[in-house]
């Protein structure tokens, strides 16, 4: 993509997503995440009307009278966008590629954070860390993030979510709002997800194309794995083949949902043919 075309596309995405963040998501983002970044201040004796959930049971037991923890809201939060740029993001059928869809969602979240005066950082990953942009404020910083999401060419086409979460934990020491955007066609990230979810306010957004859910009945078809580059002939006439594919796909989705739920992290799935606006708004309101 030449510079002029890239800038035009960046501007187009900015206009669309900034309008959404200003008029739709800004307030929802703030009400969902304000107070999520809380720092411990002190303990004091319990007073009538205090939230019993704030009781510090260790101090209460030591002094034999109730004490509560006092927290202060951090003035600014940090939003980390952790985005899968492996080969499968180039998949797309009827409406748009998954990569373009992911870019719009990430841009909307980034401008919502900007409106809230939060820092925004970006991690692009495949089976390695492809790019890291440290958290920072400002419109020009957000535009740089959008440019990278649109134009960046990864060195690898494969996926390792575990590597991305491990890197996140190493570079982001303070608690952050983290959105992990991927199709989650991957395994082996159980442990790193558990660690990241304990430390951060983590949400997984699964992006998929409905055509990935089942094999169409087209006879013998050559198929290339976007991540490994391997080509093989698949007999889509075979009900057994089609059933096995659908089952494998369903198990990956089930694994994604179960892991995030088990570790207290948020999760939602969004098709490229759906309105991500409705999906995100519904998610924010369910947490607000």
The pLDDT value given to residue 108: 92
Backbone phi, psi, residue 51, to 5°: -70, 120
pLDDT means over runs of 10, the chain (288 residues): 74 81 70 62 83 89 90 74 80 66 92 89 96 95 93 90 96 94 91 95 93 72 65 73 81 92 94 89 83
pTM of the model: 0.76
Query: Residue 14: what pLDDT?
Result: 83
Which CATH superfamily is 3-32+76-287 part of? von Willebrand factor, type A domain (3.40.50.410)
Other CB atoms within 10 Å distance of the CB of residue 103? 25
DSSP bridge pairs for 82: 123, 180
**Sign of torsion, CA 129 132 135 138?**
negative
Which residues is 71 bridged to in the sheet? 40
- Residue 14 has which token pair? 């900015």
* Domain positions in the chain: 3-32+76-287, 38-73
CA–CA separation, 161 and 36 (whole Å): 24
- The reported pLDDT for the residue numbered 17 is 82
Nearest partner of 261 among 162, 190, 209, judged by Cα: 190
Among candidate residues 25, 73, 71, 65, the one with its CA nearest the CA of residue 51:
71
* Residue 242 host element (H or E): helix 239-262
Beta bridge mates, 267: 204
Whether 69 and 54 have beta carbons less than 8 Å apart is answered as: yes
pLDDT, position 223: 66
């Amino acid at each position: 993509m030449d510079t002029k075309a890239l800038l035009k596309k960046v501007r187009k995405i900015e206009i669309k997503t900034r309008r959404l963040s200003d008029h739709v998501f800004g307030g929802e983002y703030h009400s969902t995440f304000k107070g999520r970044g809380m720092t411990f201040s002190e303990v004091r004796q319990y007073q009538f009307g205090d939230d019993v959930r704030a009781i510090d049971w260790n101090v209460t037991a030591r002094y034999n009278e109730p004490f509560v923890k006092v927290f202060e809201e951090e003035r600014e939060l940090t939003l980390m966008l952790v985005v899968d740029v492996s080969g499968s993001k180039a998949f797309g059928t009827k409406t748009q590629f998954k990569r373009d869809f992911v870019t719009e969602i990430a841009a909307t979240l980034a401008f919502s954070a900007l409106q809230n005066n939060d820092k925004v950082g970006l991690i692009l990953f495949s089976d390695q860390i492809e790019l890291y942009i440290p958290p920072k404020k400002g419109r020009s910083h957000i535009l740089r993030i959008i440019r990278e999401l649109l134009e960046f060419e990864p060195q690898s086409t494969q996926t390792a979510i575990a590597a991305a979460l491990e890197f996140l934990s190493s570079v982001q020491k303070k608690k952050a709002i983290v959105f992990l955007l991927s199709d989650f066609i991957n395994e082996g990230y159980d442990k790193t997800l558990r660690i990241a979810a304990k430390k951060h306010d983590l949400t997984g957004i699964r992006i998929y194309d409905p055509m990935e859910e089942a094999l169409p009945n087209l006879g013998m078809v050559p198929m290339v794995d976007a991540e490994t580059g391997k080509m093989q002939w698949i007999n889509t006439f075979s009900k057994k083949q089609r059933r096995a594919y659908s089952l494998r796909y369903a198990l990956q989705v089930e694994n994604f949902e179960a892991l995030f739920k088990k570790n207290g992290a948020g999760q939602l799935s969004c098709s490229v043919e759906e309105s991500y606006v409705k999906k995100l708004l519904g998610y924010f309101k369910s947490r607000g």
